[in-house]
Structure 1
Amino acid sequence: MGTSTTSEPETVIATRDLTKRFRGGQLAVDRLDLTVPRGSVFGFLGPNGSGKTTTIRMLMGLIEPTSGSTALLGRPMPVEAGRVLPEVGALIEGPALYGFLSGRANLARIDAADPTSEPRTRRARVDTALKRVGLAAAATKKARAYSLGMKQRLGLAAALLKPRSLLVLDEPTNGLDPQGMREIRALIRELAADGTTIFLSSHLLDEIEQVCTHAAVMSQGRLLTQGPVADLAAGARGRLVVTTPDPGEAARVLEVHGVHGITVSGPRVTGHPPAVDPPDLADLNAALVRSGVRVRSFAIEGTSLEEAFVALTGEGFHVSD
């Protein structure tokens, strides 16, 4: 089970007006108000350069904000970093490893650097962490001989040396093959089921949809939206789909009634109803029938998280940060 602070805050990560401006005036993060609820698997999304990694580094006290505030586990950062960070595991921008040491020796050294760890049980903790990420068989191999995916696994193992209230993971499946990605996602679900809150930065939308309960979308340093994953997708306008042997006439009628982005593919006509004063769908169907359009099917398809992302940012989602 994940450990927790005495006060049991319902919000595990909270930022208020968090801002980072680098030398030269570059505004990387602009007045960010982020709320991560306890027990969630929280996906952090955004195009390249949106400010995700800068935000994560501020959360962990690696860089100082220009202004604003950050709290982890109900405690202000970085003021109470000494009390907070023992309860937080992190994998940020890839693990820093000693290439001349084995995987097991790397973890033992990391564990020894934690003043709260118990030396007598170190070997057991290290072996358990290696097993959880699938590296038990490679424990004695030098880290410099590890593949990128193995290094990612070892970094995650370091974050799991002790029970954590919060895990902050930056691209945790980077470099993994499909089987490895499935294993890490299953591990994330297992950790979440045990009560650990997980903050997950990823450029893989299927990863977010498969494992995350909540998400936030960043663009150009600003927060566009946050909330339950299902609500983010539902919040984007759905797509109207009409199947008919009269696609040309159907497209004309739909356009007259404000449907835009119309495409015709064989008998299938698709488009997006207007966001402002959208027509009643029953009336729209009736208008098609009155115009002699033979309607075989008429429906609104729900949007995917990818469609919601594009609608919010105007960008595709082949991104990393």
Structure 2
Amino acid sequence: MAEPSATQPDPGDAPERDPGDARDGVIATRGLTKRYRGGQLAVDGLDLTVPAGSVFGFLGPNGSGKTTTIRMLMGLIEPTAGTARVLGRPMPRAARTVLPQVGALIEGPALYGFLSGRDNLLRYDAADPTADPRTRRARVAAALDRVGLAAAAGKKAKAYSLGMKQRLGLAAALLQPRRLLVLDEPTNGLDPQGMREIRTLIRELAADGTTVFLSSHLLDEIEQVCTHAAVMAQGRLVTQGSVAELAAGARGRLVVTTPDGAEAARVLKELRVGDVTADGDRITGEPPERDLAEVTVALVTAGVRVRGLTLERASLEDAFVALTGEGFDVAG
């Protein structure tokens, strides 16, 4: 394919805007579809909008199409149908314009095991035609320090733990300022302290104006760090929106704490509270239709010693299970 000349505009600069365009979305897809040979439909008509400045969680069970979607967004594979725009430009057509503004860590970092962490980053940076070689070593040192690898910079990558390799891959994505950061399971292999550090780093990047798009099977992690989320199941988008809105869409749980568990469960069932379960002195059920004060009076009248009665807020995990019927382990 011929390189664009000085008189030929980059296709990504084309002024026309198609139905897949979304002016407010750093990522916007319309009808995005990927069908592999043999008829396997991996992504089916995806309409996704990632707001600028958000930390966007991309969730879904195994085989839901998350990684395939990310690969299409980054121009690694061609869609079968539909459109994808990243930073307002069509992908993969405008990849040469878009990708220098995007940092990505997809399906784990690709490293030279015989090179040190520092030398791996120097090679990554040298492969970037937009990188200034005069500031290369300073930027590599800053990236290593930012992910907590400064002390291990001279160690060969093959001796790195899985968590250290994840950190090094993230450092590669941060060698230059990025408008968009795409992360596939960024906390994979990290210990709890490392996970906290990465959460803090993601928040800092977002505060600096970088939009972060990340997939994860750790719903608690998503809920702690993300402002928005989307849920995939069987190649289709189930829902998307702010994390608070998604969690609010799932019903919470009524929780009664009492030493009289059996009697409390009986009373709740008489009050037509659904899905009553007992675990020691903790009795739970679906939120009742009636006022909580009436529930309390009924329990006390029946002689139940109520030590606590609350409505627990639904979590993102509750919303995910309600939407997909899947359990907690939803990597893929």
Superposition RMSD on alpha carbons, in Å? 2.4
- Count of aligned pairs: 311
| Paired amino acid for 1:66 | T
Matched residue, 1:313: 324
Structure 2 residue corresponding to 1:114, chosen from 100, 120, 128:
128
- The 5 A counterparts of 1:28-177 are 28-177=42-191
* Alignment match of 2:36 (pick from 10, 14, 22): 22
What amino acid maps onto 2:112 in structure 1?
Y
Aligned-residue sequence identity (percent) comes to 75
1:52 CA drift (Å): 0.9
Report if the CA contact (8 A) 1:41-1:197 is conserved: yes
User: What is the SS of the residue equivalent to 1:33?
Assistant: strand
Report the CA distance between 1:265 and its aligned residue. 3.9
Question: Is 2:59–2:330's contact at 8 Å kept on the other side of the alignment?
Answer: no
Looking at structure 2, the residues matched to 102 and 193 of structure 1 have their Cα atoms a distance apart, in angstroms, of 31
- Displacement after TM superposition at 1:286 (Å): 8.1
CA offsets 1:256-285 (integer angstroms, 9 cap, x no match): 554321113455432114xxxx72335963
Instruction: Give the Å deviation of 1:53.
Output: 0.7
- CA apart distance, 1:9: 4.6
Q: Equivalent residue for 1:237?
A: 251
1:188 aligns with one of 184, 187, 202: 202
Unmatched tracts of structure 2, length 5 or more: 1-12, 14-21
Q: CA deviation at 1:40?
A: 0.7
**Alignment partner, residue 299 of structure 1:** 310
Letter in 1 for 2:290: D
1:281 to 291, 305, 309: 291
Query: In the alignment, which residue of structure 1 is the partner of 2:275?
Result: 261
**Partner residue, 2:8:** none
Letter in 2 for 1:134: G
Could you tell me how far apart the structure 2 residues matched to 1:307 and 1:52 are? Answer: 20
Superposition deviation, residue 145 in structure 1: 2.1
Higher mean displacement: 141-150 or 232-241: 141-150
Shift in alpha-carbon separation, 1:265–1:183, aligned structure 2, 3 A: closer
For 1:259 and 1:19, the matched residues in 2 are separated by 43
SS at match of 1:260: coil
Question: 1:193, CA displacement in angstroms?
Answer: 1.1
Shifted more, 78-87 versus 301-310: the winner is 301-310
Q: Is residue 2:216 matched to residue 1:202?
A: yes
Q: In structure 2, what is the equivalent of residue 222 of structure 1?
A: 236
Query: Which amino acid in 2 is paired with 1:119?
Result: P
Distance change (3 Å), C-alpha of 1:63 and 1:247:
same
Q: 1:254 to 1:284 in 2, by over 3 A?
A: farther
